[in-house]
Copies of this chain bind each other. A is one copy, B any other.
Amino acid sequence: MNMLTSQELTNLLRERGYKVTPQRLAVYEALADETWHPNAEMLFNKLQPKFPAMSFATVYKTVEILHDINVIQILNTGEDSFRYDADISEHYHLRCLKCGAVDDALMDDGVKLQLTQDVEKQSGYTISRRQFYFFGLCPKCSTMH
């Protein structure tokens, strides 16, 4: 995945007039660390050990800023809470209906373009973004019957 270094993130924040704080770097690192799509609570829990005083308000404010400077994307997989993804490349998401896991899948650019053009023609819309969600059973839950 194409994650930013602390230095790159620092520069981006400064360019946009945001100050650089340990919390902001840590939230981004937590998101970029692995293929992970946490919601606010999961992020909060992960950051607890390092920032025992951190509040949910900071988590929410921070992801809003990271989204604003376009280094993370916000996912709505049909749950009650939003999930956050440090991979900003356009890709699909899958959610396991049994265990709740959320995973990535790659998007083929040719298919994506074809689909978008078809839908634009049908609908008259000018399309700038897509979000595709697949629901089913993850590999683990598929084999456990």
Contact = CB atoms under 8 A, between A and B. Distances in A.
A130 B105 CA distance: 13
Contacts of A122: 105-106
B92 A119 contact: yes
A128 B136 contact: yes
Contacts of A74: 78
A123 B142 contact: no
Interface string A116-136: 101110111111111111111
Contacts of A133: 130-133
Interface of A: 74, 76-78, 92, 94, 96-97, 103, 105-106, 108, 111, 114-116, 118-120, 122-139, 142
Given A123-B134, A125-B138, A129-B135, 19 more contacts: A74-B78, A76-B77, A94-B123, A94-B127, A103-B123, A105-B122, A108-B118, A111-B111, A111-B114, A111-B118, A123-B139, A125-B134, A126-B137, A126-B142, A127-B134, A128-B135, A128-B136, A129-B136, A130-B132
